[in-house]
Amino acid sequence: MQSNVRLDGRSFEDIRKTTIDRDYLKYPEGSVLISQGDTKVIITASVQEFVPRFLADTGTGWITAEYNMLPRATQNRNSRERDRLRVKGRTHEIQRIIGRSMRAAFDYKGIGERTIKIDCDVIQADGGTRCASITGAFVAVYDALRYLYNEKLIYKFPDYKLTAAISLGIKNDKILLDLDYNEDSKVDVDCNLVMNEDLEFIEIQGTAEGATFNKEKLNELLSIGQKGILELFKIQKNVLNL
């Protein structure tokens, strides 16, 4: 790796080419294909006319998520999780962060006793799949809520804040934004950042993989991550015509 250029030609602080194809599938109330570099995720947001048992008779709605990776989304085939005795811990962790992020993004309490169920299916993985899932899920959930509003199933579009996520890493004391798999597998520090349009943090995941990092480096990570997320907000706004 050269001093200021990565293997794909990006500078350290560049995000990968990112596109969001809206209304990607015929049947879901909201659906997108998000492509971030060579990572591709199909995301659907389905309206279900019920809520979890703990919310029954409360009048409030819910947003939750599932995450899955197709067997050949990676270089070598992985077995389907349904063939295992239980879902992997990594999958549970990713599902939960997607759900938490979308519940923070939208005022879901005013949609009645309905659930917006997000399904994130990774069809090609090259790093940053959870972050791409969060960024794309915002658009899919927005469209599912737009469906409810247009069909007059709700009479006020819920309040929301643009929400997106980005990955970062530190390698040889250099911060890299929006990691592909080759970078993600080799960094000394691995970080995922979720923020809303008010530049408030929803989630910060930072882990020393091969080297520790100090407070100054953390502040630098957050600053560069914010720069990448602002670029993702522009993409979301353009796609949604906001």
Q: How far apart are CA 113 and CA 153, in angstroms?
A: 11
Instruction: Work out the pLDDT band at 121, boundaries 50, 70, 90.
Output: very high
State pLDDT tens for residues 139-190. 999 999 999 999 999 999 999 999 999 999 999 899 999 999 999 989 999 9
Domains recognised in the chain with CATH numbers: 18-240 (3.30.230.70)
Instruction: Work out the pLDDT band at 85, boundaries 50, 70, 90.
Output: low
Closest of 164, 184, 124, 144 to residue 45, by C-alpha: 144
Instruction: Work out the pLDDT band at 6, boundaries 50, 70, 90.
Output: confident
Tokens of 129: 């799949």
Instruction: Work out the pLDDT band at 220, boundaries 50, 70, 90.
Output: very high
pLDDT of residue 93: 92
State pLDDT tens for residues 132-147. 999 999 999 999 999 9
The pLDDT > 90 percentage for the chain reads: 81
Entry pTM: 0.94
Output phi, psi for 18, to 5 deg.
-125, 130
Element (H, E) at 20: strand 18-22
Q: How far apart are CA 128 and CA 229, in angstroms?
A: 13
Instruction: Work out the pLDDT band at 105, boundaries 50, 70, 90.
Output: very high
Q: How far apart are CA 169 and CA 185, in angstroms?
A: 10
Mean pLDDT value of segment 32-60: 95
Mean pLDDT value of segment 191-212: 94
Closest of 171, 159, 63 to residue 120, by C-alpha: 63
pLDDT of residue 166: 98
Q: How much is the mean pLDDT over the chain?
A: 93
Residue 46 clears pLDDT 90, i.e. is over it: yes
pLDDT of residue 2: 44
Contact status, residue 136 vs residue 32, Cβ threshold 8 Å: yes
Element (H, E) at 174: strand 174-177
pLDDT of residue 211: 86
